[in-house]
Amino acid sequence: MPQLTGTDLHVSDLCFGGNVFGWTADEPTSFALLDRFLDATPSTVGAFVDTAESYGDGASEKILGSWMAERGMRDRVVVATKASPAKKEHPLSAAEIRTAAEGSLRNLRVDTIDLYYAHYDDETTPLEETLTAFDELVRAGKVRHIAASNYSAERLVEAVETSDRLGIARYVALQPHYNLMERSRYEGELRDVVAARGLGTLPYFGLALGFLTGKYRAGERIDSPRAARASRYVGEKGDRVLAALAEVGSAHGVTGAAVALRWLADQPTVVAPIASGRSVDQLADLLPMQDLVLTDEETKLLTDASDD
């Protein structure tokens, strides 16, 4: 099981995306999803769950917090959440970060957030102010580690160098958009920066908005709030990738979705991909990725199929 680079956090191979809580999964369904995910997570590591203050306007955090409290499972979960932009004028100002963190701590019903992200970069606020505010949270014991989401390579370098210069908490991870259908925006300069600066990667949209489950095909209509965006992957490249996933999945007796997540988890710098399901059956299709071992030939097949 992986360890988040630069931390003492040992986490599950899959990070469960809590964006569905209170959105496409009501509270009872969310509880069932979390129960199933925890059952599939070895007791030696933390069940890694990702949420944000903006998901469901706090509903996602509240559901996760209620589940941890009712089940008494706080010690079994590694909780990641984010300070989100919402409609804030300066979302990563010191004042906004403090307010966001306190709100998340209340929603989650915890004393400490394990991994706290800047959800999006905020170029209207000096990095010194943002990082100092995060450092204050770490020093106060309200946050264990900090991370960045949706940062450019240039801004990520600037942020890490600012923390190092000031001797304060630095980002330990990056959450980028990265999967078999979206490789170019991460592979290259951004990945090089992550590797050189000793960060870990936690990619979101690990299943390309559900496209890599194989349910989106030309001419088919799918009942999903993500259908319109996922359908953009339908085409020649998408067909190649889905065919490769089906071939590898068949060889292992697992779904193509599990194969896609395993390929992603095996990429350089990646700690754990983020993916979600809105039903226990959907989650069950993903969980085999944790024990799946791809051969070099299978990895190459998938990589070649997904080349632009």
Q: How is residue 110 written in tokens?
A: 């915890």
How far apart, in whole angstroms, are the C-alpha atoms of residue 175 and residue 148? 6
Catalytic-labelled residue, pool 55, 116, 171, 178: 55
Amino acid at 8: D
Q: Which residues contact 280 (CB under 8 A, 6 or more apart)?
A: 29, 32, 33, 36
Measured at the CA of 204, the angle between CA 201 and CA 210, to 5 degrees, comes to 145
Would you call 55 a catalytic residue per the annotation?
Answer: yes
Please give the structure tokens belonging to residue 61: 């955090």
| CA distances from residue 19 to 13, 82, 276 in whole angstroms, order as listed | 18, 12, 8
What is the rounded CA–CA span in Å between residue 279 and residue 275? Answer: 13
| Angstrom distance (rounded) from CA 202 to CA 174 | 6
CA 38, CA 141: separation in Å to the nearest integer? 25
Q: CA nearest 290: which of 60, 40, 102?
A: 40
Looking at the annotation, which residues are catalytic? 55
